[in-house]
Amino acid sequence: MQSLVEEMGGAIAYVEIDASKDTAKARQYQVQAVPTIVVLDSGGKIVDTFVGTPGEKELQAAMDEAVAR
């Protein structure tokens, strides 16, 4: 994950949230399992959600879509 973030330069931000401590955020993004990755566009709209560990290509495609919006 971190390597993808670094490859995208300043185009994206990576934020990690502890769902057990920030239950409001977990509810907001409908997190029901850990780990869950939620990719948002610059307006905060959900582009894609991954439960578990996604493949690098899938995650890259979601990040590219988020940046393109």
Q: Which tens digit of pLDDT belongs to each residue from 19-54?
A: 999 999 999 999 999 999 999 999 999 999 999 999
Structurally, the chain folds into a number of domains equal to 1
Inter-residue long-range contacts of 53-62, CB under 8 Å, 24+ positions, other chains counted: 56/4, 59/1, 59/4, 60/4
Please list, in sequence order, all residues whose beta carbon lies within 8 angstroms of the beta carbon of residue 29, skipping any fewer than 6 positions away.
Answer: 36, 38, 46, 49
Locus of tokens 């993808």: 4
CATH of the domain at 22: 3.40.30.10
Instruction: Give the domain extent around 32.
Output: 2-68
- Model pTM above 0.85: yes
Please list, in sequence order, all residues whose beta carbon lies within 8 angstroms of the beta carbon of residue 58, skipping any fewer than 6 positions away.
Answer: 50
